[in-house]
Amino acid sequence: MKLSERGVIPRLLSGIYRRGKKVTKDSGGETAVTVALSYYEIYNDKVYDLFEPPEKRSLAGLPLREKDGKTVVVGLSERACDDLKDFERLYIEANNNRSTAGTKLNAESSRSHAILMVKVIQTNGDETLISTASAIDLAGSEDNRRTENNKERLVESASINKSLFVLSSCIDAIGRGDKRIPYRCVFSTYSSKHRIPRQNCLDAN
């Protein structure tokens, strides 16, 4: 597929691999660059590992913890990803595990928000540099009068709409320079709070 036909996430990975090869080449092979992926969804305000089949998940989801000033998902798996073919295989596998369902307006509607974390590790002798890029796929807000959702879809819709409202409130609070940002109101903003920039907040999506 041509680069111009790819989505944002494949372009992100393509750029990372291209840059990694250049770093290795410019260092005369002394610097090794590797990539690993973690991917999770937030469904009804619970966190689930998308590299884990739904039948193997705990209904309680994965817990969140504070570590070194960041929020981490405890127990989230990580997969090595050597190239774009690896990425395509892993991405398809994970998205097959994502929560979807049909509504009147969409036969395969995402019922969750999904966060892909791309970890880039540069190693040169005893020195290691780790960077992380995140891509967030938000489920769209829903008008239940139009979707004609049943009881289960209504619960999902309420969770989606609430989290989008809180995300908007966080961005507004950052834009105003508020000292208190309401990250903890829902898991989607709490788990992603260090990924929501305090500058250029209009670009948070």
When the pLDDT of each residue in the chain is averaged and rounded to a whole number, the result is: 80
- pLDDT tens digits along 57-70: 888 999 988 888 77
Spatial CB neighbours of 186, under 8 Å, sequence gap ≥ 6: 45, 159, 162, 163, 166
Count the domains in the chain.
1
Q: What percent of the chain has pLDDT over 70?
A: 75
- pTM for the model stands at 0.76
Got the DSSP string for 81-134? --SHHHHHHHHHHHHTTS-EE--SS-TTEE-SEEEEEEEEEEEETTEEEEEEEE
The DSSP bridge partners found for residue 47 are 42
Domain CATH for 153? 3.40.850.10
- pLDDT tens digits along 169-179: 777 777 778 77
- pLDDT tens digits along 76-120: 999 999 999 999 999 999 999 988 666 555 656 678 889 999 999
* Higher local confidence (pLDDT), 137 or 199: 137
Which domain, by its residues, includes 157?
Answer: 3-203
Q: What is the structure's pLDDT at 28?
A: 95
Q: Of 34-43, 48-57, 128-137, 152-161, give the lowest mean pLDDT range.
A: 152-161
Q: What is the structure's pLDDT at 190?
A: 44
Interatomic CA distance for residues 158 and 137, integer angstroms: 18
Interatomic CA distance for residues 12 and 17, integer angstroms: 9
Interatomic CA distance for residues 62 and 38, integer angstroms: 13
Interatomic CA distance for residues 17 and 41, integer angstroms: 25
